[in-house]
Every structure is written in structure tokens, then in C-alpha cells.
């Protein structure tokens, strides 16, 4: 039974602690900005600190902070954060120059208010002039004793000696969670337009109703899973302010981990829907596009790079490059053009190269049930281990499956070493060895034609691809055992 505390709502109210190793850098003190009705002005009194800087941070995703502003406290412990443009909505933090986080508060549409706090009781700031923060403070006061009690119960649970003791603790935790949830529900009912209500909606998980009984009297065991999946994002607006919270990113990660199939087409459907839903929200759209790009540009799961190619073709190639620095833009476009030609299921790019005696041989000249394309370097230490291993499993098993090997020497300056390695390890039966002459390489560069490195995303050696009889890519970037598993799975499927 799940008994996780709802304190994981992640509004970590008023717990001061040193932020050693924080991911953000200190803001440099700057000239005071002119405040306006459209801007922000947050007056701060933080006793007993005097004549020192205080920083305004905001959350950005899970466990990350950004510096939003800085203020200098005077002899009276007073300072002001102000600017002529409104700050982004979300959860903000006041942090001392010694990296001690003092308290959190909400940044809503009304950004002219005052905060009075003391370092000896940072969990009790007094905020005036902000309705959203008044609601938030009232909730925080209610939450603290409940959270302390629930934490204590949670710690007692592993030490429970009897089933009865364990059951009693679980019931107490459930009662505490219900008390907290009832309080939240009341806030949401009384203040439907408050920022904290939007945050509660974003944090909650669907309550699964009773599993319906079929006509034959049986129940669908998968119903709870499907219900949560279908209602996971109910009442959640993909608004900018959610970006600057510590709970939205974990919720997003959990959804893709547990409720989205890992196959790329399923992921693309979800990504497409989320980006479309957030298009009008500039910050949320930028955040999601950047997150999905980083996640799927170099995914550990074979085939998921198709998601990045979707983003590349449908967003970056269509001009959505404002989130990228020049360096990142170069990386994204280079990676995009490299992956666009070698997505699983596509026909492999043709290659015509010279063999060991200078005769031109094409990849599509090989007639085989399967083709293993191997990009390697005879001077690469890892290749010296892996290439003989490929030959061993080829002789023992793959040859009988009708597989042939098209091996590309990526280092045109190592021809003697290449031929020596081939002869030494007797890599001849079933192997076609080729390389691209320098003259061809230079001609391609001059003409702006993509070479094999780009077409096959060859950024390390060895790099391997497995093709079917029509030269369609069915696996890539695996080791020999991974390719063997793919072949086994295909054989089983064919047998069925």
C-alpha cells in the first residue's frame, strides 16, 4: 500500500539550510532598476542582516535554481527587489549571500508586496500586499504540524514489530494524508483562481474509482493503470508558472517513465500533444522543447532518437531555434542531420567504396538475408577487441542465418595496418572490406555532400548497424550480444 507523504508536494516551506554546491551562480550587484506599475517591487526586511546582499532565486525544474535579482540590505536590514518588467510566475526563494535559503514565496500576477522575516525563524515570513501569498502562508501554518506528525509516523513504520502495529501506523498516515487533502480541497473550492490551486491541480494524481465488473463477473486488472494514464493531466494547464516549480519536472518524468510506451511513435504522440498544448505559453514551450531535445538527442534506448528527429524536422528546421545558443544550435543541427538518415525502419544510405585491391563495391551489391555494417579503425583499441568477437559469433551462428558483413575502415591513412589486421585475424569469409579514398572524401566536402560519417552518425568506433534483406535498418549502436538478441527475436517472430 502506498503511504508516501503528501509533504512531497515539494513546497519546502521555511526550512533554512546551507546551499553548498548550489547549481546557480551568484548574481553580480547591478544598478537599481526603475520600478513601474507593470514591473515588480518586493520590499524586504530581513533581520538581523545588515549591509549585505540578498538574492532572489526561482526554481527551474527539479532541484535547479536561477538567479532572478539581487538587493542590498541597509543598516535597517531593509532592501528591495525591483525592475520595470514583471518576473515570471512561480515559486521564488530568498537566499543570503552565504548561500543560506531563508524562505519560499509565490510570484503571482501582482508583484508589488512586502516581506518581513527573521533569520532565527525563517519559516514564519510575514507577507503583505499579496493575496496568493496570504493563502499560501495560511496553508503553510496548517501544514507544518501535520507534516511533522506524518514524518514521525513514516519513520516508525519500518520498526513496527507486529502486523497490528504496522496496520495502525498506516491508518494514522492515511488519516493524516486525508486531513491534508481535505484542507487542500477546501482551498481549491474557496480560491479556484489562486496560484496555489493551480499548483495543487498539477501535483495531484487521479483517484482511481472502483474497478467495474464485466458482464461475465470478471474485473479488468489493467483498469487502474489505464485510468491514471488517461486522467494524469486532468485540470493541469501547461502554463509558464509551472516551469518555475520543483514538482512539475518530476511529475513529467514519472509520466514518461510509467505511463508512456518506450516505443518512439508513442513518445512522439505525447511530445506532440504537450508542445501543441503549451504553444501559447512561451516559457513552458521553451522548457519542454529543450527537455525533450536533451533527453532524446542521445537516448540510451535504441530507436528513441526518432523522437529527436521528429523535433528536428518539425521544430528546429521550421525556425524554432530561439532557445538555442549558437554553440547549441550547431550541436543540434549537426546531430539532427546525422540522425535523420538512419532512423530504425528506414533504408540504409547507399555506400560505394574501394575494397582492399581498389575495386569499387557498393553496400547494395551484397545480397544477404541480413547485413551487418561495421565502421571501425584498425588502430582503435576497442576495435581490436570487438572486431574478432564479431567474427567469432559470425562463424558460430550468424553465417548460417545468411548474414554478411560490410566493414568500413574509417581511417584512410591506416591502409597498411588495416590490411595487416584483416590477414592476421583471417577476416575474409563473409566479410567485405572497404574504405573511402581521400580524393572522394575531399570531393564530397567541396560539393557539400553528406559523407558516411554523417549519414551513419559515426562519431565513435566501432559503430555497427544491422540491416534486413531490403537493407532497412533494424538495429544500431549495440554490441555483438545486443545484435544477437535482435536476431533471435526476429527468428522467433518468423517462427510464430
Enumerate the domain spans of the chain.
8-136, 223-339, 352-495
Greatest alpha-carbon span in the chain: 86
Cα distance between residue 227 and residue 209, in whole Å: 9
pLDDT at 455: 92
Q: Beta partners for 371? A: 404, 467
End-to-end CA distance of the chain: give it in Å, rounded: 40
pLDDT at 412: 85
Which of the four pLDDT bands, split at 50, 70 and 90, describes residue 198? very high
The CATH class that applies to domain 8-136 reads mainly beta
pTM beyond 0.75, yes or no: yes
Q: Cell numbers of 326, please? A: 549558437
Element (H, E) at 140: helix 131-156
Residue with cell 510506451: 261
Backbone angles phi, psi at 470, to 5 degrees: -95, 15
Nearest Cα neighbor of 270 from 313, 323, 310, 298 is: 310
pLDDT at 434: 97
Cα distance between residue 141 and residue 13, in whole Å: 9
Non-local CB neighbours of 490 within 8 Å, separated by 6+ positions:
474
Element (H, E) at 427: none
pLDDT at 76: 97
Nearest Cα neighbor of 88 from 279, 283, 286 is: 283
376-410 exposure pattern, b = at least 16 Cβ within 10 A, e = fewer? bbbebeebeebbeebbebbeeebeeeebbbbbbbb
- Is the CB of residue 471 less than 8 Å from the CB of residue 348? yes
User: How far is C-alpha 146 from the geometric centre of its chain's CA atoms?
Assistant: 33
Q: Give the three-state DSSP class for 195.
A: helix
Which of the four pLDDT bands, split at 50, 70 and 90, describes residue 2? very low
Tens of pLDDT along 55-112?
999 999 877 889 999 999 999 999 999 999 999 999 999 999 999 999 999 999 999 9
Tens of pLDDT along 131-149?
999 999 999 889 989 999 9
Architecture of domain 352-495: 3-Layer(aba) Sandwich (3.40)
Amino acid at each position: 500500500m502506498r503511504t508516501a507523504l503528501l509533504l512531497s508536494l515539494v513546497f519546502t516551506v521555511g526550512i533554512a539550510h546551507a546551499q553548498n554546491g548550489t547549481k546557480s551562480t551568484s548574481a553580480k550587484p547591478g544598478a537599481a532598476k526603475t520600478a513601474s506599475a507593470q514591473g515588480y517591487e518586493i520590499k524586504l526586511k530581513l533581520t538581523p542582516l545588515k549591509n549585505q546582499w540578498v538574492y532572489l532565486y526561482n526554481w527551474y525544474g527539479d532541484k535547479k535554481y536561477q538567479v532572478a535579482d539581487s538587493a542590498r540590505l541597509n543598516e535597517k536590514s531593509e532592501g528591495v527587489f525591483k525592475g520595470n518588467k514583471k518576473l515570471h510566475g512561480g515559486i521564488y526563494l530568498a537566499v543570503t549571500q552565504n548561500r543560506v535559503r531563508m524562505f519560499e514565496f509565490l510570484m503571482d500576477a501582482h508583484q508589488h508586496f512586502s516581506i518581513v522575516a527573521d533569520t532565527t525563524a525563517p519559516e514564519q515570513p510575514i507577507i503583505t500586499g499579496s493575496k496568493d501569498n496570504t493563502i499560501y502562508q495560511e496553508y503553510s501554518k496548517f501544514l507544518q504540524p501535520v507534516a511533522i506528525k506524518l514524518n514521525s509516523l513514516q519513520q516508525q513504520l519500518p520498526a513496527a514489530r507486529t502486523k497490528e502495529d504496522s496496520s495502525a501506523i498506516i491508518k494514522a498516515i492515511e488519516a493524516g494524508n486525508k486531513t491534508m487533502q481535505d484542507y487542500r480541497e477546501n482551498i481549491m473550492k474557496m480560491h479556484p483562481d489562486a496560484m496555489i490551486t493551480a499548483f495543487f491541480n498539477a501535483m495531484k494524481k487521479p483517484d482511481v474509482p472502483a474497478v467495474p465488473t464485466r458482464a461475465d463477473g470478471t474485473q479488468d486488472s489493467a483498469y487502474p493503470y489505464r485510468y491514471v494514464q488517461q486522467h494524469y493531466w486532468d485540470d493541469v494547464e501547461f502554463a509558464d508558472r509551472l516551469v518555475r516549480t520543483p514538482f512539475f519536472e518530476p511529475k513529467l518524468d514519472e509520466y514518461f517513465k510509467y505511463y508512456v510506451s518506450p516505443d518512439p511513435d508513442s513518445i512522439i504522440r505525447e511530445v506532440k500533444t504537450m508542445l501543441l498544448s503549451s504553444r501559447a505559453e512561451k516559457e513552458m514551450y521553451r522548457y519542454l522543447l529543450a527537455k525533450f531535445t536533451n533527453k532524446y538527442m542521445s537516448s540510451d534506448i535504441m530507436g528513441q532518437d526518432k523522437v529527436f528527429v521528429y523535433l528536428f524536422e518539425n521544430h528546429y528546421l521550421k525556425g524554432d531555434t530561439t532557445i538555442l545558443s549558437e554553440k547549441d544550435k550547431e550541436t543540434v543541427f549537426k546531430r539532427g542531420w546525422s540522425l535523420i538518415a538512419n532512423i530504425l525502419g528506414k533504408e540504409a544510405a547507399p555506400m560505394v567504396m574501394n575494397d582492399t585491391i581498389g575495386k569499387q563495391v557498393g553496400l547494395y551489391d551484397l545480397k544477404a538475408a541480413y547485413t551487418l555494417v561495421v565502421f571501425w579503425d584498425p588502430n582503435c583499441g576497442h576495435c581490436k577487441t570487438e572486431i574478432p568477437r564479431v567474427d567469432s559469433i559470425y562463424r558460430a551462428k550468424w553465417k548460417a542465418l545468411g548474414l554478411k558483413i560490410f566493414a568500413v575502415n574509417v581511417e584512410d591513412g591506416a591502409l597498411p595496418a588495416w590490411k595487416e589486421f584483416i590477414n592476421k585475424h583471417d577476416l575474409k569469409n563473409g566479410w567485405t572490406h572497404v574504405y573511402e579514398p581521400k580524393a572522394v572524401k575531399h570531393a564530397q566536402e567541396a560539393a557539400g555532400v553528406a559523407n558516411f560519417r554523417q549519414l551513419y552518425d559515426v562519431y565513435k568506433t566501432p559503430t555497427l548497424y544491422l540491416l534486413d534483406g531490403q537493407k532497412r535498418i533494424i538495429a544500431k549502436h549495440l554490441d555483438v550480444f545486443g545484435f544477437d538478441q535482435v536476431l533471435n527475436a526476429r527468428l522467433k517472430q518468423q517462427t510464430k
